[in-house]
Amino acid sequence: MRIISQNGLLDVPYELIAISPYSKNMATIIGTFPGNDLGKGDRVYILAEYSTEEKAIKAMEMCREKYLSRMELDGGYDIVNKCYVQPNYWVLPKVFQFPKEEEV
């Protein structure tokens, strides 16, 4: 899955970016690449900005739910029906864009 910032200017693989609220302003969601050293001035990317901390947390939950809800469609052995289930890759979400303020 790919993550797209609220303004559409950043587009990165979900697996390659660490996402968290900004410690100085919890209503802002930031992303950084693992291994970046923020103390040395490595970049932090603003993924979304909201008016309240609660909206930022809700937006992060929406992202997490979209990613995790589709992982179960990867296929595997169905214990109930005793058969192998093929992966449903055509229904996996391709992107998640952080929603605008009014959509949270």
Q: pLDDT tens for residues 10-63?
A: 999 988 898 988 878 889 999 988 777 766 767 889 999 999 999 999 999 999
Joined together, the tokens standing for residue 15 give 């697996």
Q: What is the pLDDT of residue 90?
A: 52
- Please give the average per-residue pLDDT across 82-96, as a whole number: 65
Q: What is the pLDDT of residue 56?
A: 94
Q: Is the pLDDT of residue 82 over 90?
A: no
The number of beta carbons lying within 10 Å of the beta carbon of residue 7 is: 13
More confident residue, 85 or 16: 16
Distance between CA 84 and CA 39 in Å, rounded?
A: 49
* Most distant pair of Cα atoms in the chain: their distance: 55
Distance between CA 99 and CA 33 in Å, rounded?
A: 21
Q: What residues have CB less than 8 Å from 35, skipping those under 6 apart?
A: none
Joined together, the tokens standing for residue 1 give 């899955």
Q: What is the pLDDT of residue 35?
A: 76
More confident residue, 95 or 54: 54
